[in-house]
Amino acid sequence: MFSTDIDRWREDFPALGFTDDGERLHGPVLWAEPAMPDQPPTVFTAQVEIIPGAAFPFAPPMVRLLDPGGPLEITFHINADNTLCLWEDDWSVDDAPWLDPRKLLDRIADWLQKTAAGWPGDDSCDLERYVDQEDDPRMVLYNATRLVPDQAVQTEGGPEIICITDRARRTGNIVNGRRRNRKDRRLAWVADIGSVVRPIRSWDDLAASLGTHAADVSRLIKMRVITVILLRYTRGGADAALALRVHPDDAGIRIAACESADTSTLTRAVRAGSVRTVLANVPIAIIGCGAIGSFTAELLFRSGARILTLVDAERLRPGNVVRHFADLQHVGWPKPHAVRDRLSAIDPDVTAVTVSHNRLTVLEEATALVLRHRVVVDATGSGRATSLLTAAVTRLDAGSDGTVVSVCVQRDGDVLRVDRMPLRPGENHMSPLPTVEHTSQLRERGCGAPISPTPPGAVVAAAELAIRVVIDEVTAERKLPATVADVRKPQDQPPFDVVGWITSDPPERAAS
């Protein structure tokens, strides 16, 4: 929508009772107060100002309430600049409802009616928008499962974050305006204020929510002992928190909102997907912690898997890191140890991640791995290791629920392939793609074998394909067949001559 389109949009407002000075539209919006039993609703006429700002039409116009036309306590869904928050979600400009003036006015009327009713059923937890924003850009972090309300706790600072700890400080020893300990500074006050019925906009609002603790907290703020307040609250049944920086000024106490985040395990796991709880209790081994194996471990760990065994006999080389989950700081580390260390950056609790800097060489070792794990992922790219694991799972077929998932990239990443073993009744593996003579001239000093030019994207895609098969197995959905391949570039042999997914059996047959 260009300037001429905006002009046409403005042309519809005069017929709706609006005046237009070329910048602002000013006019009436009819809205009805919630009706009482056996009484007709009272209709009011509000006066509003509409300004299509710089972001319009890709964002709604700015709307300010000049006169509600009747009694109205404004509480939620209004921005710090007093513009109404009419839509929470983004819209494509082609479908944006605010481009229809009548829909825009209906939305304003709906906002007025819901405000008069107290926003019933609303669960928007965004109290930050009602408070001035702090100039300090640091994020405030806290662990919601460890906080005890109505006490002062220590904080730990850094260039990007302020961490609220669970180490309480006794503030009773801070008397006569003096701090007796260096730790009696930059404290945070934690409070649980329950269900909120109106936003907090000032220190007076905040003090009212703190109840009997307000006087002590005020004193400690003025002594610059407490500098952060964390309010835990609920709205519409949803739990939330508001972090505020507080400090004294000439007018009393100034409050400003900070960006904050919960560091608890539950919050960090909520994006892991629906299979998180299943994967958490499934023992999975990854044999081969090179490129594909390292990203398979990462994706499984991010998805909720915690009982992992990582096996590889090699050390990480500088050239590996281009296609590896680990980075340069892990060069020289055994690959399983490097992967485990990187996993600890996602979740520090890696106590159930076992590492083995060994090579799989004998059938007894392969059999033991299959017996101890629900799934063994073969990411070695080694014919010997794959044969050992295939023999192990085959001979245990009748007495074990262990599964081997073998993943590899072929022809320099043009084909990704995953095979699951043992076969179920009626299944077959896809015929192998014939190997071709390796033409790569890429070599690394100190490394005897040629280097594959497989791109990093193919490695990550192969790992993702592998975990699809793993999840299909551990959730007992069993919708995927024994072989799944992703052809990224057509090859000279059917069925690998067509780009896309190919399988050994139709999914419905494999699942039966």
Quote the CA–CA distance of 253 and 202 in Å, as a whole number.
Answer: 9
pLDDT value of residue 511: 40
> In 3D, which of 162, 246, 153 has the Cα closest to residue 205?
246
User: What are the C-alpha distances in Å from 125 to residues 75, 103, 122, 510?
Assistant: 13, 26, 9, 46
Quote the CA–CA distance of 347 and 306 in Å, as a whole number.
Answer: 10
pLDDT value of residue 512: 36
pLDDT value of residue 178: 55
Q: Name the residue type at position 165.
A: T
Question: What's the N-to-C CA distance of the chain in angstroms?
Answer: 54
Task: Delimit the domains of the chain by residue range.
Answer: 3-117, 127-267, 271-427+443-511
Q: 459-478: b or e for each residue (b if 16 or more CB lie within 10 Å)?
A: bbbbbebbbbbbbbbbeeee
pLDDT value of residue 342: 98
> Is the four-CA dihedral 450, 467, 307, 282 of positive or negative sign?
negative
Torsion of Cα atoms, 485 then 489 then 493 then 497, to 10°: 90
Q: Which CATH superfamily is domain 271-427+443-511 in?
A: NAD(P)-binding Rossmann-like Domain (3.40.50.720)
> Do residues 315 and 336 lie in contact, with contact meaning Cβ atoms separated by under 8 Å?
no
> Do residues 402 and 474 lie in contact, with contact meaning Cβ atoms separated by under 8 Å?
no
Entry pTM? 0.83
> Do residues 283 and 307 lie in contact, with contact meaning Cβ atoms separated by under 8 Å?
yes
Tokens 């909120």, residue located: 196
Q: How many CA atoms lie within 13 A of 193 on its CB side?
A: 28
Q: How far is CA 287 from the centre of its chain?
A: 29
Joined together, the tokens standing for residue 103 give 């829909």
- E strand or H helix at 15: none
Quote the CA–CA distance of 111 and 115 in Å, as a whole number.
Answer: 6
Q: How far is CA 130 from the centre of its chain?
A: 25
- What fold is seen in the domain 127-267? Cytidine Deaminase; domain 2 (3.40.140)
> In 3D, which of 436, 440, 420 has the Cα closest to residue 485?
420
Helix, strand or coil, per DSSP, at residue 440: coil
pLDDT less than 70: residues of the chain: 1-3, 172-184, 397-399, 437-450, 506-512
pLDDT value of residue 510: 40
Tokens 């009982």, residue located: 307
* 398: exposed, middle or buried (Cβ count in 10 Å: 0-12, 13-18, 19+): exposed
Q: Supply φ then ψ for residue 64, to 5 degrees.
A: -120, 140
Helix, strand or coil, per DSSP, at residue 104: helix
DSSP for residue 211? G
Quote the CA–CA distance of 186 and 209 in Å, as a whole number.
Answer: 21
- For residue 485, list its beta bridge partners: 417, 502
- What fold is seen in the domain 3-117? Ubiquitin Conjugating Enzyme (3.10.110)
> In 3D, which of 403, 411, 400 has the Cα closest to residue 469?
403
Quote the CA–CA distance of 201 and 196 in Å, as a whole number.
Answer: 13
> In 3D, which of 196, 201, 302 has the Cα closest to residue 244?
201
